[in-house]
Structure 1
Amino acid sequence: MAMTLPTECWQEILKNVPIEDKKTLKSCLMVNRSMCKIIIPILWSNPFRYLQSSPHDQPMPSRINEQDEIIKMKINQKKLINVYISCMDYKSIDILNNNKIEIINRDKSIMFDYPSMLRELQYDIICESSSSWLYQELQLIKEFKVTTEDLEHNSKTREFKKLLLTRELCKMFMKSSTLIMNLTLSYYVPFVDMSFTPKDFFLINKLPGAEKSLKNLKKFKCSLLIDQWKEITKDLTKICGINGSLETLELKCIGEPSVEWIDDKSFINICELIKRQRSLKHIKLNCCGKYCNIAKAISSLSSQIDNIKSLEFVHLKFNSNNSNNSYLYNDKDNNFPLNFISKCKKLNTLIFKDCDELLDYNIFTTNDTPWFNHLTKLVFEDTSISPFNITKIISFCNKLKELSCDLGEEIDFLPEFALSLPITLKHLTIDAVEININILQQFLENIKATLETLNFPAWICRSFTDQHLYIICDKLKNSLKRLDLDLMSPENQQHNVSFESIEYARKEIEVVNIESYFRYDSW
């Protein structure tokens, strides 16, 4: 079948197909050779995405054969690595063979230069796929009786092989792909011996061709152990390209930092990285304790007030009176570290998770600050801010569509809290110590917004009964499309909700989920 439109037109049309929609893209692939040449680069921009299958993304019935799905995923990972190995140059093959990673029977009939098409490099997923490719070797080891010492040695050897294979793959990507747009560096040491942290494997910028490949990087996510972080930050500005093109930056530190890390200067490189960007729109900082100096990067966010659209802070403590966190407070300018938020003209998402001492900051007081005009999502999970102050905040947000907050023990305040919810609200998550039937009924009656989704996490669900469910159905069945109740958590077996009432709710509401995956956050 001949192409009636120019290739450029088809490329523009296919940009509107979600890249996750593999089924549609594969259908287009089979149309003709010309369409195939257009679709192949799209599918191979990040083929690893199609291998990921989190149980949190699926309802309960689909989890029955979860183990089979994992096996299937590992087989597909191995197949994908085989394709990439077939594209490797002989120098990398020799390196692998010299380290007892035997490469035999390479497929030489590869039709496309697949590595050149990669646009998203996810180090952790490539690592996992490399491990699956090496899985057969582990199976052979298990067939023989070996000592604990041998197992430990084999584990370290296999870990080294996995990282070496991953490095050679990344080396190929850096050399072949001239336009990596998204980079994720995430790695966890899988065994007890913490001395085995091969930091050089993470220094992507030192691979040949990396400077050209990463120069226009748009998204950078980094989640590493403390010691790995100290190494990475030295080359952070080089890893993230030289053109200041980042639009998304997500940083996470894992571990328990000691007090000495407060004086570590590695955070300066993070601040420098943020200041260099021309248009940084999405920022997430996830700290690992009160001494984690990633929090110091907040001081540089004011350089992006004209660009920021979303901000997320996780595990930060904003107590300016605490000497351990004094670096968050600027005495000279009499400014609190979050005051810059009121100057963010395009901010539409603001998230705080497990953050303390937010009450000290006067950033939500007036309705004439620019960021109130654009805010559509607001999250306060496990924070110290009071429900009363949350009410004051949301009263200014006339475009708010999504809200998540904890009311703690302030249950009686819930009906009044409902009155402050803007009419634009569509998605609501409420957590509290408990909620009785009368309070729930008053709360739902006072909501003027047309809610489409309502989420109740594990803590509040402990007090739920069948009557709670019937009230929700009665009050919201005309608008509610999805109801999430965390009833299946091991720690949440105190509820008195029967399966009969759940089935009743599923007849009234399109989706009723009793799992907790809606709060799952791997980052």
Structure 2
Amino acid sequence: MENISTKHMKGSIYIPSDIIEEILYFIQNELTDKTDYLNNESFALFNCLLVNRQWCRLVIPRLWRQPFLYVRKGNPKLISTFLIFLNDNKRRGLQSDGIIFSSLRSLKHRNFYVHKSQYQSLFNYPSFLKHLHYDYMLSSIEGWCTYSNQSSGNAISLITNSLLTLFVDNNVKLTSLFVWPNHIHWNHYSSNRYMELVEPEFIGLLSELKNLHIETHSKYPSSRFFSKLSRIVNVKNLYLRTQQLGLMGFPNDLENEMARNISILINEQTNLITFTLSNSIRYTSDFIKSLSSNVNNLQNISLIETKLNENESWTILSKCINLRKLEIIKCFGLNLDSLMLFLSNSWTNLKTINIENNHPIDANSELELWANKKRNKII
């Protein structure tokens, strides 16, 4: 170790890479609890990559493993950077379909694009991708098409397909997928944007998926998207937010069909460890019943701002005997009689319990009393 340090200390102090990795991990964890942590995190990591080449090599993969996390309103710059890595055949194919790359030269001073011949990267950015915020990527593509004055009516779909192909070509295996349509505003919405992701040629991207974060917004993503997705993924952690599903009053049974396919998606996950359900009102019982195949696997359940008024939901939850963590927060419709079977379980593995602001108050009080007794036994 002394020889290594001497060799590197002539110009600067040498720090082993594993120590730097620990520092970067600490920085990210510390910022997670701060206000506006996304901007703080990206700013802090960007400053870290400027330290020297060693730090740069370690920071770049961290920034690019989830590049769209930091651009909730979309960012054409990211799309321009990814498009640089397209092979010549794909680039020519886009040009023949009406995509005009040369139009981006006028945006050079705003850093939206650097021509491929002028750009030589030390890093293959697409290969680092692990966590895809799909809606933020789509929003960025929409912004790119707007700024570059694309005349092709199908430009957004063409660029989406090209980027997904680029990720496949770079052997990307996603760890996490986020589908959050509630977080963005579409100027040119099309349900096909989500369907692109579950086409056969892109299944490889999702073959090793561990974390799936899904939310619904009125009638999209479509029920067909959930149907196809249920045949592709088998995740360990599922986060589901169904805000207003069943309350929008859409004709042709659209919401019921979407709820059925979401239930199928839940049921098809055979290795679930964590399940989070948020903002569920009309279909809560259906979703929780779909956990039946995972009652022995589940270790963490979080129910947030969700209506829990049916006995069957509590019956299924009571069968999850290997729970380690349970959260019931701001839920409503609770019934003391329904709780009894659930509370009578031994729950020998339960270590973390979070009960907050549920309604009615007497049911919440009963849950808090039970939680306190469990905590005292744990201590």
* Superposition TM-score, scaled by structure 1 size: 0.54
Matches of 2:142 and 2:18 in 1, distance apart? 39
Provide the residue aligned with 1:216 in structure 2: 208
Q: What does residue range 241-390 of structure 1 map to in structure 2 within 5 Å?
A: 244-252=234-242, 254=245, 255-257=248-250, 260=253, 262=256, 266-267=261-262, 269-274=264-269, 276-277=270-271, 279-284=272-277, 286-287=279-280, 290=282, 292=283, 295-302=285-292, 303-312=294-303, 314=305, 316=307, 318-319=309-310, 336-342=312-318, 343-353=321-331, 355-356=332-333, 358-359=335-336, 361-363=338-340, 366=343, 369-370=346-347, 374-380=351-357, 385-390=359-364
1:172–1:187 distance in 2 versus 1, CA, 3 Å: farther
2:339 aligned counterpart, secondary structure: coil
Instruction: Summarize the Cα distance change of 1:85–1:259 in structure 2 as closer, same or farther, 3 Å threshold.
Output: closer
How far 1:42 moved relative to its partner?
A: 0.7
Any gaps of 5 or more consecutive residues in structure 2?
1-7, 30-37, 106-114
Deviations 1:405-463 (A, max 9, x none): xxxxxxxxxxxxxxxxx9xxxxxxxxxxxxxxxxxxxxxxxxxxxxxxxxxxxxxxxxx
How big is the shift at 1:118?
1.0
Aligned-residue Cα RMSD (Å) equals 3.8
What are the within-5 Å matches in structure 2 for residues 118-157 of structure 1?
118-136=129-147
Unaligned runs of 5+ in 1: 53-72, 141-153, 320-334, 402-421, 423-523
Q: Could you tell me how far 1:394 is from its partner in structure 2?
A: 0.7
Superposition deviation, residue 5 in structure 1: 5.1
Opposite residue 309 of structure 1, the aligned amino acid is N
> Cα distance, 1:216 vs. partner?
2.2
Distance 1:338 1:120 in 2: 33
Task: Give per-residue Cα distances to partners, 1:297-330, cap 9 Å, x unaligned.
Answer: 31132424543323225554645xxxxxxxxxxx
Q: How far apart are 1:365 and its partner, in Å?
A: 6.8
Amino acid aligned to 1:312: L
1:361 is paired with a residue whose SS is helix
Question: 2:45 is aligned with what amino acid?
Answer: L
Partner of 2:95: 97
Q: Which of 25, 28, 43 in structure 2 is aligned with 1:18?
A: 28
Instruction: Tell me how far apart the structure 2 counterparts of residues 295 and 101 of structure 1 sit (CA, whole Å).
Output: 48
C-alpha contact (below 8 Å) 2:263/2:290 kept by paired residues = no
After superposition, the Cα gap between the structure-2 partners of 1:221 and 1:256, relative to the gap in structure 1 and judged at 3 Å, is farther
TM-superposed CA distance for 1:18, in Å, is 0.8
The answer to whether the 8 Å contact 1:185/1:202 transfers is no
**Which residue of structure 2 aligns with residue 395 of structure 1?**
369
SS at 1:312 equivalent: strand
- TM-superposed deviation, 1:114: 0.2
Separation in structure 2 between the aligned mates of residue 169 and residue 263 of structure 1, nearest angstrom: 30
Where does residue 70 of structure 2 map in the other structure?
50
Q: Following the alignment from structure 2 to structure 1, what is the Cα–Cα distance between the partners of residues 325 and 211?
A: 18
Larger Rg: 1 or 2?
1
Structure having the larger proportion of residues in helix: 2
List aligned pairs for 1:144-183, cutoff 5 A.
Answer: 160-183=154-177
Q: CA deviation at 1:39?
A: 1.3
1:230 to 215, 219, 223: 223
C-alpha change, 1:245 and 1:386, in structure 2 (3 Å) is closer
Task: Say if 1:172 and 1:209 are closer, same or farther in 2 by CA, change over 3 A.
Answer: same
- 1:51 and 1:314, CA in 2 relative to 1: closer, same or farther beyond 3 A? same
Cα separation, 2, equivalents of 1:123 and 1:263: 23
What number of residue pairs does the alignment pair up? Answer: 333
User: CA, structure 1 residues 203+352, in 2 after alignment: closer, same or farther (shift >3 Å)?
Assistant: farther
SS in structure 2 at match of 1:310: strand
Q: Quick one: percent identity of the two aligned structures?
A: 17
| Residue pair 1:119, 1:177 contacting (<8 A) in 2 also | no
Whether contact under 8 Å (2:277, 2:306) holds in the other structure is no
Residues 239 and 222 of structure 1: CA distance in aligned 2, closer, same or farther (over 3 Å)? farther
Secondary structure of the residue that 1:338 maps to in structure 2? helix
Distance 1:94 1:234, change over 3 A: farther
Matched, 1:38 2:58: yes
Secondary structure of the 2:121 match is coil
The change in CA–CA distance for 1:272 and 1:263 in structure 2 (over 3 A counts) is same
1:346 Cα shift?
0.9
Q: CA deviation at 1:183?
A: 0.5
CA–CA distance in structure 2, aligned partners of residues 358 and 91 of structure 1: 62
State the distance in 2 between where 1:91 and 1:371 align.
59
Instruction: Specify the alignment match of 1:475 in structure 2.
Output: none
Report the alpha carbon displacement of residue 98 of structure 1 after superposing the two structures with TM. Answer: 3.5
Give the whole-Å Cα distance in 2 for the aligned partners of 1:137 and 1:263. 38
Larger RCO: Structure 1 or Structure 2 (Cα < 8 Å, ≥ 6 residues apart)?
2
Q: Is the 8 A contact 2:307 2:333 kept in 1?
A: yes
- Distance apart, 1:123 and its partner CA: 1.1
Contact 1:372 1:397 in 2 (8 A): no
2:48, 2:55 within 8 Å by CA — same for their partners in 1? yes
Q: State the Cα distance separating 1:400 from its structure 2 match.
A: 9.8
Q: Secondary structure at the match of 1:236?
A: helix
- Look up the equivalent residue of 1:100 and give its one-letter code: G
Q: Cα offset for 1:175?
A: 2.9
Secondary structure at the aligned position of 2:323 is classed as coil
